[in-house]
Amino acid sequence: MAVIAPFKGLTYNYHIRQDFENIVAPPYDVISDNEQEAYYQADPYNVIRLILGKKKIGDSDWDNRYTRATDIFKRWESAGVLFGVDQPSMYVTSLTYDPGNGDPKRTRWGVIAVARIEDEDSGVILPHEMTFSAHKDDRLKLMRACSAQFSQIFGLYEDPDNIILDACKKNIDFTPQISFDFHDGTKHKMWILQNPRLFRTIADAMNEKKIFIADGHHRYETARNFRNIMRARYGKKPANRSYEYVMIYLTNMNDEGLTILPSHRVIKEAPGFSLTPFLKKLEKWFDITDGPLPGSDISRECAGLKLRLEQAGSTNTVFAFYLHQTDRYYLLSLKPGARKDMGDDLHASLKNLDVLVLSRFALQKGLGFSKEGLDNEKIFHYQSSMKMAVSHVQSGDYKMAFLLNPTKIDHVKEIAGNSLVMPRKSTYFYPKVLTGLVFNKIDPHEIIQVP
């Protein structure tokens, strides 16, 4: 089903530099304005100049951040800052990190390859979250300008016997070409493999599988849109032209290193809000209890609340509500039978999703937001750290927070498998895949050699 192949990737010249911590960055869509500037200052060759260039006064159709990225990309390649392998390769990575919940450090393994782009109804590469046009337009402008994919799609596949990764590990009995510690405490290694027999093993195993997009929905749809543009210009034949493929980072969803963090909702304002009527309204659907959250020791108090959420949420939908200038949180546990009031427009599997229970009852019926209003980025902020979410509210930067359990991987599989999509920011697969490890330069005349 899924067609996976090696490709001739570009990397930073690791023979010259091994300080990758100074030249890589997270995906563009999680980088704030302040972080963008910090990456600019970190190194003149930081990948930020390609993925999130600065806007300038006087930008025009012929001089803008996309055209400047093109110029930089060409100069780096011609100067040897970037260089490519001489034969198709796959890239095995390990990422060691602290899950942040008191558990021991974990290592998530991944394989970077290219996957054939599928049409929406193929049922092979499955999204699970909604996308937005503005993000896709931005990424398409960059891809058209540079004819390259700078960031990988993060894809998951099912492999309970670990056939693919075990085969890869047998081929990495040498020092990794790239090894560094990123500033967030994560440790990264990457091996470049050029073994056709291994590629055949991986391709054969993946040919029986579906791929679930964990992160990079906008990038995947952008790659499909770019493919369609290139098809119109160069045609579909011969088969397997490079623009028919997208660079992808693949992880086994059975991998012990896979972590999903919660995506807490922090709200700037809610017009007309009053606590007592709000809680009274929600009593129709929730059992409501409260507990102290005074703020004298946020770390300890959030750890206790997190544990309470986990325990209560193991068999039910439960989330906590916290309001500015209060010293208490309110735990909302969904009443039996309440899901039927979520509406007839929702598939049964979506009604089991905590973020949709929150959206339909607390945000829409409780606070009065419309479905469109929930996408207002000036009002809604998403935070994976409970401590940060609570701190934002305590400081007065935000008015209130809804604190959730992380979405379960089984829910992701079920919803994507039913060709459904979740609301935005329903999942946060942690850590993000760094940008700058490998680039995929797209030559419209190149043919991808499928094993």
pLDDT recorded at residue 186: 96
Q: Which two tokens stand for residue 99?
A: 């899950």
| Separation of alpha carbons 128 and 175, rounded Å | 37
Average pLDDT, the chain: 92
Interval 394-416 mean pLDDT: 91
pLDDT recorded at residue 112: 98
Q: Residue 38: pLDDT above 70?
A: yes
416 contacts 157 by C-beta, under 8 angstroms: no
pLDDT recorded at residue 101: 63
Confidence band, pLDDT 50/70/90 cuts, at residue 296: confident
Q: Residue 102: pLDDT above 70?
A: no
| Separation of alpha carbons 116 and 37, rounded Å | 35
Q: Residue 27: pLDDT above 70?
A: yes
Q: Which two tokens stand for residue 64?
A: 């803008």
| Separation of alpha carbons 192 and 90, rounded Å | 6
Taking the model in full, what pTM does it have? 0.90
| Separation of alpha carbons 26 and 52, rounded Å | 11
| Residue corresponding to tokens 């911590």 | 21
Interval 81-91 mean pLDDT: 95
Q: Residue 294: pLDDT above 80?
A: no
Q: Is 357 helix (H, G, I), strand (E, B) or coil?
A: helix
In the chain, the domains with their CATH numbers are 4-259+431-441 (no CATH), 263-405 (3.30.1760)
Confidence band, pLDDT 50/70/90 cuts, at residue 199: very high
Interval 100-128 mean pLDDT: 88
Q: Is 85 helix (H, G, I), strand (E, B) or coil?
A: coil
Total residues found in the chain within this entry: 451
141-147-150 Cα angle (round to 5): 85
252 contacts 159 by C-beta, under 8 angstroms: yes
Interval 410-434 mean pLDDT: 85
